[in-house]
Chains A and B, each alone.
Chain A
Amino acid sequence: MGLSELLGTYGQNYLDGLLTTWGMTAVSFVFVMALAVLVTVMRVSPLAPLRAAGDLYVQVFRNIPGVALLIIIAYALPSLRVVLEWRTCVIVTTILLGSAFGSENFMSGINTISVGQIEAARSLGLTFGQILRRVVIPQALRTTVLPMTNLLIAVMLTTALGSQVPLDPQELTGVVSYVNTRSTGGILAFLISALGYALTAFVISFVGNRVDRRVRILR
């Protein structure tokens, strides 16, 4: 199958696939960030049960394989009378996995700040909220730009799990399996999707590097 024939027959599928992948990535990443902040706040709070719950959350979701989590959410939860739409299953899976890594990024961002700065801020009379807002968060955000761009790419790659459940429209990976089970698309059918991912990842890391160079703290 040539490129023109392939695009003529399945062009719309690929376009829908790319847009679906982008859409799921964007939606997931917003929630990943929100949940990562919440979990990180729990992990640095002085309340031991919240700390423990936050730590457990991160250990569970950074170590569970994506497919296993997706299968639990998509096929095991209905047995517990929790039924989600296929697309929601994929997005929830991506959010749970991503937020664990996001929280790890925030934690290592916080850990780059020296303890002396916080002690200095406190002896200047800053309150706890002021220390967080004026000292910790601005620095932690700046050092996590690059890890977070990598996380955004990882979130995009995780949405490929969508090929394991019946989505409509399908995302990029699902399209490849759809095309190749109907006709012999050959290497081209694979390359179109692969380039969709690789070029998006390239743009994301290009922008991320630019932003990082602007806001990075030179130590």
Chain B
Amino acid sequence: MSARAVSAPSVRDALFEAPGPRMRRKIVVGTAVSALLVALGLAVVVRQFYVTGQLDARYWSFFLEWTTWRFLAQGFVGTLEVALTAGAIALVLGLVLMLGRTSGVRPLSAVCRVVTDFFRGVPSLLLIYFFFLVVPQYGVKMPAFWMLTLPVALAAAGVLAEVFRAGVNAVPKGQVEAALSLGLSPARTMFKIVLPQAVRYVIPSLIAQLVVVVKDTTVAYVVSYPDLMQNARVLITSYDALVSMYLVIALIYILINYAINKASVYVAQRTGVKIIR
């Protein structure tokens, strides 16, 4: 947002004309009042923490021990493993679904469309319950890792298929026509001309989608897989510090996802493409 404000005036700033002396005074007063309101809101929250004893040292001191952080780091590795594996599977499956849908073969394209819409329209929690509760009924024993990774991957694959399709649509039609009239087969046109460009268009969006994958992995406790969240829950029971632990964990997740989003925006600016959601 700020980077754009430097290069060209955004609408956000253009809405107001340069303030005159009276308006400037009003803005100063308004700024002071709103700053006071924001500070007051913060004070109320902190006071509530203090009154209920949540600021006591015993709820926060264990964050100073490095065993706490080592255990959380182990969980983070677990989160990373699931997120990256699921991301890789979703990438391949999403690409396959998109290729099927744009193949021009009617039945195949219909099937891929239904599959894509299904995984996009169903909550990932429901898919996790499917692998956790339903699949074992058919005698299939799966480790917790896959009971978590597969549903997260399937949910992401539906979204990625649409992202890829948007990328393919962004490639100018004239190029496809030119390739076909040069005698390239439709498949060669797709793989040699369209796809290489489409993938470049969607890289920032693919990075942004990693946020969704990371968020989805947080329900790992349903299948008792030791990820960041699950390890935090273990620490909560051993230190009896619910509020402080959950707040710290939430903050860690927010920072991780914020970093991913920033990376996506950075890549988008470097390559000069728009982020497709």
Contact = CB atoms under 8 A, between A and B. Distances in A.
Given A76-B246, A79-B54, A80-B54, A44 B34 contact: no
Nearest to B216: A65
A187 B15 contact: no
Interface string B98-140: 0000000000000000000110111111100110011001100
Interface string B73-111: 000000000000000000000000000000000000000
B196 interface: no
Contacts of B266: none
Interface in B131-157: 133-134, 137-138
B158 to A, nearest CB: 10
Given A65-B218, A194-B126, A49 B48 contact: no
Contacts of A72: 246-247, 250
A187 to B, nearest CB: 6
Contacts of A194: 118, 122, 126, 130
Contacts of B12: 43-44, 107, 110-111
B16 A202 contact: no
Interface string A103-146: 00001001101010011001000001001100010000000000
A49 B27 CA distance: 11
A161 B125 contact: yes
A35 interface: no
A64 B254 contact: yes
Interface string B1-23: 10000001111101111010000
A92 interface: no
A197 B218 contact: no
Contact of B254 (A60, A158, A202): A60
A27 B128 CA distance: 26
Nearest to B52: A80
Given A65-B215, A190-B130, A198 B15 contact: no
A208 interface: no
Per DSSP, are chain B's interface residues mostly helix, strand or loop, or mixed?
Answer: helix
Per DSSP, are chain A's interface residues mostly helix, strand or loop, or mixed?
Answer: helix
A23 interface: no
A131 B15 contact: yes
Contacts of B223: none
B184 interface: no
Interface string A10-37: 0000000000000000000000000000
Given A68-B253, A128-B16, A160-B125, A75 B246 contact: yes
Contact of B122 (A80, A82, A111, A198): A198
Given A59-B254, A158-B123, 20 more contacts: A48-B31, A63-B257, A64-B257, A68-B250, A75-B246, A80-B48, A80-B243, A81-B48, A82-B48, A113-B11, A136-B11, A157-B124, A173-B126, A173-B129, A176-B129, A181-B133, A190-B129, A194-B122, A198-B121, A201-B120
12 contacts: A63-B254, A67-B219, A67-B229, A72-B246, A79-B242, A150-B277, A153-B121, A157-B124, A173-B125, A184-B137, A186-B137, A201-B121
Interface of A: 43-44, 46-50, 52-53, 55, 59-60, 62-69, 71-72, 75-76, 79-82, 107, 110-111, 113, 115, 118-119, 122, 128, 131-132, 136, 147, 150, 153, 157-158, 160-161, 163-164, 172-173, 176-177, 180-181, 184-187, 189-190, 193-194, 197-202
